[in-house]
Amino acid sequence: MATEVSSAFDAASSVVSSSRGERWCVVTGGRGFAARHLVEQLIGSGAWSVRIADLAPTITLDPHEEEGLLGNAIRTGRAVYASADLRNKGQVIKACEGAEVVFHMAAPDSSINNYQLHYSVNVEGTKNVIEACVHCKVRRLIYTSSPSVLFDGINGIYNADESTPYPQKFNDSYSETKAEGEKLVIKANGREGLLTCCIRPSSIFGPGDKLLVPSLVTAARAGKAKYIIGDGENYYDFTYVENVAYGHICAEKALADEARAKKAAGQAYFITNMEPIKFWEFMSLILEGLGYERPSIKIPKYVMMPVAHLVEYTFKVFSRYGMSVPQLTPSRIRLLTCNRTFSCNKAKDQLGYEPIVTLKEGLRRTVESYPHLKAQKKLERSISKASLYLGNGQVAKTVLWKDKKQSIATLFVLYGVYYHLFSCGYTFTTALAKFLQFIVLFLFIHGMLPSKIFGFNIEKLKASNFEVSEAKANQIAYSIASSWNSLVGILKSICKGEDWSLFIRVVLFLLAVNLAAILSLQTTYKIGVPLMFAAFYMHEKYEDAIDDFIDRALSKFDSLKSNATRKFLPHK
């Protein structure tokens, strides 16, 4: 049975006061993924008693924790829990009382691009931690930062060291506020005897992760893990979670040593496994280890970025109606397609850090820790890929004829649009003007409606729904620039005359564009709408057969390409 421990700090204080000289440390965000491993390493070292600070009012242990080091430490008083919100300075001070060291690991979910949330925790919360350390005369503060503090969202990072400056613009609000928090911690070094340093662990993985592996498996079971975004050649530094925890302990030991502290205090350090690997190869090893297929179909970045911007804007408009946070966002596309490798030489020289678990061993332990996520021999998908492509919502129900009344009604509406806008022989400009007139009329009538009709609430549209912020405009500009650079890269590859596969894909794409340009707007609409309904319906009905045909066709094409290359372009 899980153990529940009260978060009242009076109990923790009584433990400290009667602790017979134990040395206490605090881990903020102590129930987070990496923090749990740090807590266990601290307890296992025998050198520390640990106060675990986190948001929840009480701590609930997992079964393996109940029977392990943490459960025993709580029962014997060598670990206590303190409920503390970093945005509440009084709670933070209480959590830090009597501590010699604070490991500040708390942070919001990086995937939620909410500037107000990230600023309140990563910046204001970090200020409170620093003030609490000074007030409680804490000797050492180790802050968990992120390598993303160097990422501008456009340029990849290859073997960067700590001398690399912060970018002028950041990829997202998490990275920006993490950088601000890091600056505050470095600036606080030496303040009333407090020694500080920052740890930048890169792409953490391992047992207990609730984001990376579960997300990969969800994608694999939905048939979406077969795709590689970009060219698949970008390298990453992944870090096994126990190495991350060990890096923090190395930092604390360096600050505790008077001679080494002269170099380590006020510094930032990258922590990795020191084994760079291709990002998509790493993902493939996890998927293969769990029994799923490796990603194999490449989708260019310049194709995905406009789609990602559209998804992000749609979420901004419809999030109030319960739309879940999308996985496909511009910031994630950038992260999936660029290099992100870092040098650990400084941490090795000044902190004495070296990985204690290799990448291969870390992958093995990670895969073995998810037996419940392994692939079944005949895994039935509850949701078809055609439905997923259409958003698995009302659009999917309509196009796939799940709701026949709704599908028929939609076809009548589309026929009405065709009759009034296209069958009359309007040009594209005229049809667009007519459509905009309809939108204006709809908005005007919608604005006149009362807030409630027959018991149904009418959600009023605001002008802000249609505004584009400066930040969003900059992101779109970055996306356009990135797409342009990708196209230039394709042109360079074609000019070399070596990549036949790329050449054929470009030719086929241009032929498709040429065909679309030949057709009139009326013909395109007349063919496109029925084709969409028919294509998605047939794809869902014969999904497995179509996937098998595509896989065999791609395999055959690769074989023909290899044979042609050997025959006509022999290597010198």
Domain range annotation of the chain:
426-467
Q: Which residues are catalytic?
A: 178
- Closest to 367 measured CA to CA, from 466, 283, 474, 247: 283
| Residue 139: predicted pLDDT | 97
| CB neighbour burial string for 384-407, b if at least 16 within 10 angstroms, e if fewer | bbbbebbeeeeebbbbbeeeeeeb
Distances in whole angstroms, Cα of residue 44 to Cα of each of 54, 70, 249, 365: 21, 9, 12, 19
Q: How far apart are CA 389 and CA 92, in angstroms?
A: 46
The parts of the chain modelled with pLDDT lower than 70 are 1-21, 318-327, 377-395, 418-428, 431, 454-466, 468-483, 485-486, 489, 498-502, 516-517, 519-522, 524-526, 539, 544, 547-548, 550-572
| Residue 301: predicted pLDDT | 83
**Enclosing H/E stretch for 175:** helix 173-187
- Extract the tokens encoding 78: 């060598």
Task: Indicate the DSSP class of residue 295.
Answer: P
